[in-house]
Structure 1
Amino acid sequence: MTFVFVACASGNQTASQTPGKITIAYQPGINYANLLIVKQQQILEKQFPKTQFEWKELSNGAAIRDGIIANQIQVGASGPGAFLVGWDKGVGWKILVSLNYSEFWLITKNPNIKSIKDFKPGMKIGLPSLDGVQAIGLRKVAQKDLGNPTALDQNLQVIAHPLGVQSLLTGQIDAHFTTPPFEFQEIEKGGRVILKSSDIFGKTSIASLFATEKFYNQYPEFGKALYTAIVDATKLVNEKPDEAAKILSQMDNGKVSQEQYKKWLTNKAVAYGIEPRAFLKCGAFMHEIGMLNKQPKSIDELILPPLKGVGGD
């Protein structure tokens, strides 16, 4: 079975129904594989030929949130931490669709570090942002194991995932809280896992797509088309990883082989799905430690219309 993306005819769309230009931002890694397939196959460009699309890779969710606030980004992909901070501060964005539930791992090469209790002052823990899901998860564990959610905040160093790999392997940082495929690369080079996200919040949407309610209400047909494209791409990744891996390798001009992509996509730590997961758990904890002024009580407070009735927590 081959999945075929169907682009609807756009001739009957009025200017008000079609964005003139749209920027879609995401972060490094295979958590965004289903979104990257939509990009590589030009699904949206075919469906909305009058729209100018810009695809932008940024290093963390905070940068994407800033772009949304500045109206320089219309759709952004990130994790629940950066999203909830923005939601709390009135950015006005909501979840269009989730992308990925992959585990993220805290990895070290330091033989003296067996758990977070072994981090000493001056030891550096690399992660993409201070309000991202890695930082939230680390504070949750610090609260449980060290009695203080901010006990390791002075150890945190903001670093993009790819640079974090090199910094860990060369000893510039003592640990790296990262995502696939970077965590796999670190393990292959002698890194050890000392903490897994699944032990913190359970199944977590490490990556989701967000847009403001204002943008969605102005262009609902575009929002629905993007949602459908992600649903189709998610099915492709889950059911035909060979095809998905081929598309991703083509996107990289073969720098990463189809075989390598398939190995990553089918790793048991990697999972794709459209239901938003763990937003309420993250929100409750962030509210508890003062990172949020308000706490979401229902997933319905956080989602755009295409996700109504899909589920999530």
Structure 2
Amino acid sequence: MRFKRFRTWSFLIGLALLAFGFVACASGNQTASQTPEKVTIAYQPGINYANLLIVKQQQTLEKKFPRTQFAWKELSNGGAIRDGIIANQIQVGAGGPGSFLVGWDKGVGWKILASLNYSEFWLITKNPNIKSIKDFKPEMKIGLPSLDGVQAIVLRKVAQKDLGNPTALDQNLQVIAHPLGLQSLLTGQIDAHFTTPPFQFQEVEKGGRVIIKSSDIFGKTSIASVFTTEKFYNQYPEFGKALYTAIVDATKLVNEKPEEAAKILSDIDGGKVSQEQYKKWLTNKAVAYGIEPRAFLKCGAFMHEIGMLNKQPKSIEELILPPLKGAGGD
């Protein structure tokens, strides 16, 4: 009798342990499934991405998600990053409002996780015959990173105001990556270059003159922000929140400890640019960092007006992910 009772209890305990093991296994699988197996993060050249580059260099995400395979890629423009997101080859992208809004309009399904940078970007020329955009002849070339990037949007806004036609200079536009555009301007292969820090600073140091400043057109503008699809964020919310927090911390470092941030950036490129030079760039009055999206609605309204968008965002809530909690608004 006692043996039968013992067998009964043993059977029940065995079932309980089996059930516990199943639950633990299921719980473990759930945790694993909430961590992406692979994440490719793409960004563009320049110090507008300094805070994101600090996240990369400090391996903040790699330490928090050791099971995830990370790849970081520098691409020449937002359009290339958008194509990578669509093809599911890139999970997180960084770029300006122009290419982002085109993707949003076309149903890419991405939203803003955080802004990175509000730096002014300048249209610069070395041609003594060019004083304003009214002086551009049909054969003169204006270099910029993409035809739907924020530089192109600003140029079309100025063309609408000064030339009466937003596309008046479209035939002058030449797509070129920022570093190559810098060299092409200095060697006279293009007549003007619409670029960003630090390339614009280098061009001015070499005799370039500023024709347009973005701040005069759209005011404070998020020239660089981090995007991911709503589907990816909802599938891996802890990863999304961790990336947002890492960007917040890196932004604070850039703003409060520019010398330390400058050293990190100098280390990234192997000392090709000194810590002192990076610090000068980071603390230039034309450079600013912050996480709140700015000028997306202004850009969207103008892009819709001239036919670049089929629909227009009416509020920032349509464009942002939960960590931003309604931040931004213009």
Report the TM-score range of the alignment, normalised by the length of the smaller protein.
over 0.9
Query: Aligned partners of 1:4 and 1:311: how far apart in 2?
Result: 47
Residues 221 and 87 of structure 1, relative CA distance in 2, 3 Å threshold: same
List per-residue Cα deviations over 1:37-81 (Å, max 9, x = no partner).
000000000000000000000000000000000000000000000
Alpha-carbon distance change, 67 to 198 in structure 1, aligned in 2, over 3 angstroms: same
Displacement of 1:310 after TM fit? 2.7
User: In structure 2, the residue corresponding to 1:285 is in which secondary structure?
Assistant: helix
- Determine the C-alpha separation between the residues in 1 that align with 2:293 and 2:243: 16
Contact 2:297 2:329 in 1 (8 A): no
Of 233, 243, 248, the residue aligned with 1:226 is: 243
Change over 3 Å in CA distance of 1:29–1:186 after alignment to 2: same
Q: Given the superposition, is the C-alpha separation of residues 81 and 94 from structure 1 closer, same or farther in structure 2, using an over 3 Å criterion?
A: same
Structure 1, residues 256-312: CA drift from partner, whole Å, max 9, x if none? Answer: 110010000000000000000000000000000000000000000000000113333
Q: Percent of aligned positions with the same letter in both sequences? A: 91
Taking a change above 3 Å as real, the CA distance of residues 228 and 3 of structure 1, as seen in their structure-2 partners, is farther
Q: Give the distance between the partners of 1:178 and 1:51, measured in 2 at CA.
A: 34
Change (3 A) 1:80 1:5: farther
Q: Post-superposition, which runs of at least 4 consecutive aligned residues in structure 1 deviate over 3 A?
A: 1-13
- With over 3 angstroms needed to count, the CA separation of the structure-2 counterparts of 1:10 and 1:34, relative to structure 1, is farther
- Following superposition, the deviation at residue 7 of structure 1 comes to 25
Structure with the larger helix share: 2
Alpha carbon RMSD of aligned pairs, Å? 6.0
d(CA) in 1 for partners of 2:168, 2:28? 58
Distance 1:136 1:10 in 2: 49
Does the Cα contact within 8 Å between 1:125 and 1:177 map onto a contact in 2? Answer: yes
Gaps of 5+ in 1: none
Is the Cα–Cα contact under 8 Å of residues 141 and 149 in structure 1 kept in the other structure? yes
Give the structure-2-normalised TM-score: 0.91
Say if 1:77 and 1:210, in contact at 8 Å, map to a contact too: yes
Shift of 1:6: 30
Equivalent of 1:67 in 77, 84, 106: 84
Unaligned runs of 5+ in 2: 1-17
Report Cα offsets for 1:138-187 as digits up to 9, x if no partner: 00000000000000000000000000000000000000000000000000
CA contact under 8 A between 1:34 and 1:99: conserved in structure 2?
yes
Structure 1 residue 257 corresponds to structure 2 residue 274: yes
Hey, what's the Cα distance between the residues in 2 that align with 1:68 and 1:177?
25
Structure 1 position 10, deviation (Å): 14
Q: Quote the Cα distance in structure 1 between the aligned partners of 2:217 and 2:294.
A: 13
Does the CA contact (< 8 Å) of 1:22 and 1:53 recur in 2? Answer: yes
Change (3 A) 1:241 1:302: same
Tell me if the contact between 1:7 and 1:47 (Cα under 8 Å) persists in the aligned partners: no
Looking at structure 2, the residues matched to 27 and 90 of structure 1 have their Cα atoms a distance apart, in angstroms, of: 23
Q: Distance in 2 between matches of 1:12 and 1:254?
A: 44
Distance 1:196 1:128, change over 3 A: same
Q: Which of 175, 191, 202 is residue 192 of structure 2 equivalent to?
A: 175
Q: Is the 8 A contact 2:222 2:295 kept in 1?
A: yes
- For the residues of structure 2 that align with 1:312 and 1:57, how far apart are their CA atoms? 29
Distance in 2, matches of 1:4 and 1:116, equals 71
Which one has the largest radius of gyration? 2
Structure 1 contact 97–208 (Cα < 8 Å) conserved:
yes
CA deviation after TM superposition for structure 1 residue 243, in Å: 0.6
Do the aligned partners of 2:320 and 2:326 also contact (CA within 8 Å) in 1?
A: no
- Deviation per CA, 1:55-109: give whole Å up to 9, x if none: 0000000000000000000000000000000000000000000000000000000
Q: Given the two structures, how large is their TM-score scaled by the length of structure 1?
A: 0.96
Question: What do the CA deviations read for 1:181-212 (whole angstroms, capped 9, x no partner)?
Answer: 00000001000001000011000000000000
Cα 1:122/1:243, change in 2 over 3 Å:
same
